[in-house]
Structure 1
Amino acid sequence: MSTKSTSPLRFLFLTEGVMKLMGGLVFVVSPQTPLSVAVAAPIPPSARLLARLLGTQTFTLGISMLLASTKTPKAVSSRRIVYWTVFARDATLVTVLTLQLLFGENSDALGFSAKGLRAWLAELMPFCLGHLWILTTKPHWF
């Protein structure tokens, strides 16, 4: 019998970690690039600042995911908490975006259009649901 793990979690951590590093860098270095989809020109400085702040979070979570993807015992034991942390951040963003879409005055939302908020929500939702699915139905992967 093989003792090799069949969990794809390490690969998922590596993949999402790299994606978060790249995405976070784009938001930090060139926030107008992703904001051009969600905010009408001219992009308010407050929206650029918000994008940079979220980019730093995303970049940092990418580093955490890459560190947790290693094969060391400490990294393996930290995977669950890292995954919960990433899920909590994404779920909070999804909640705030949904509330803004449903109840907010979108003309006041730092220049974000309803279409832009929906696009952002559509980008986050698959990750959020995927994390929740793994955390609740695949605990043996950790």
Structure 2
Amino acid sequence: MSAHAKSPLRSLFLIEGLMKLAGGLVFILSPQTPLSVAVAAPIPPIALLLSRLLGTQTFTLGISMLLASARTPTAASSRRIVYWTVFARDATLATVLALQLWLGDNADVLGFSPNGLRAWLAELMPFCLGHLWVLTAKSHWF
């Protein structure tokens, strides 16, 4: 049995891909739902637009992850680049959120409160750390 047969990577791609599809759809179709935790009412229109744009990214990355979870040689060979892409997007977003909290003037950041920015960062960090762990410590799964 090969090392790839024992790898949980395909299942991780499938589960996270479905999560990203669902999360992306929520951000696209009902951005008020996640924003209600991070932004005081009334939610500024620009925050709604930003959420929808991030939702499209999340949805698209979900599709990429689902395609890479297939049991084909092409899908298997693309998993590493898809995972790096997802990690790069999430890590960049986490960095921008952290910098905004640390250096930014949080009085009027599209209506986001510092607690809202922290909640968003806290939601994103487990994914970033998990991706980094797989990419570095479990690279043999690819």
Which TM-score bucket, shorter chain as reference? over 0.9
Q: Distance in 1 between matches of 2:10 and 2:72?
A: 11
> Which position in structure 2 is the counterpart of 1:56?
56
Q: Distance in 2 between matches of 1:69 and 1:110?
A: 36
> Which position in structure 2 is the counterpart of 1:74?
74
Unaligned runs of 5+ in 2: none
Q: Distance in 1 between matches of 2:93 and 2:109?
A: 14
Q: Distance in 2 between matches of 1:21 and 1:32?
A: 17
> Which position in structure 2 is the counterpart of 1:122?
122
Unaligned runs of 5+ in 1: none
Amino acid at match of 2:51: A
Identity across aligned pairs (percent)?
79
Q: Distance in 2 between matches of 1:104 and 1:27?
A: 24
Amino acid at match of 1:8: P
Query: Root-mean-square deviation (CA), in Å?
Result: 0.8
Amino acid at match of 1:105: D
Amino acid at match of 2:117: L
Task: Give CA-to-partner distance per residue, 1:96-122, whole Å, 9 cap, x none.
Answer: 000000011112210000000000000
Task: Give CA-to-partner distance per residue, 1:8-46, whole Å, 9 cap, x none.
Answer: 000000000000000000000000000000000000000
> Which position in structure 2 is the counterpart of 1:131?
131
When the two structures are superposed, what TM-score results if normalisation uses the length of structure 1?
A: 0.98
Q: Distance in 1 between matches of 2:76 and 2:42?
A: 45
Superposed displacement of residue 84, structure 1? 0.1
When the two structures are superposed, what TM-score results if normalisation uses the length of structure 2?
A: 0.98
Superposed displacement of residue 139, structure 1? 1.0
Q: Distance in 2 between matches of 1:139 and 1:98?
A: 27
Q: Which moved more, 1:3-12 or 1:130-139?
A: 3-12
Tell me the number of residue pairs that the alignment of Structure 1 and Structure 2 aligns: 141
Equivalent residue runs for 1:13-24 within 5 Å:
13-24=13-24
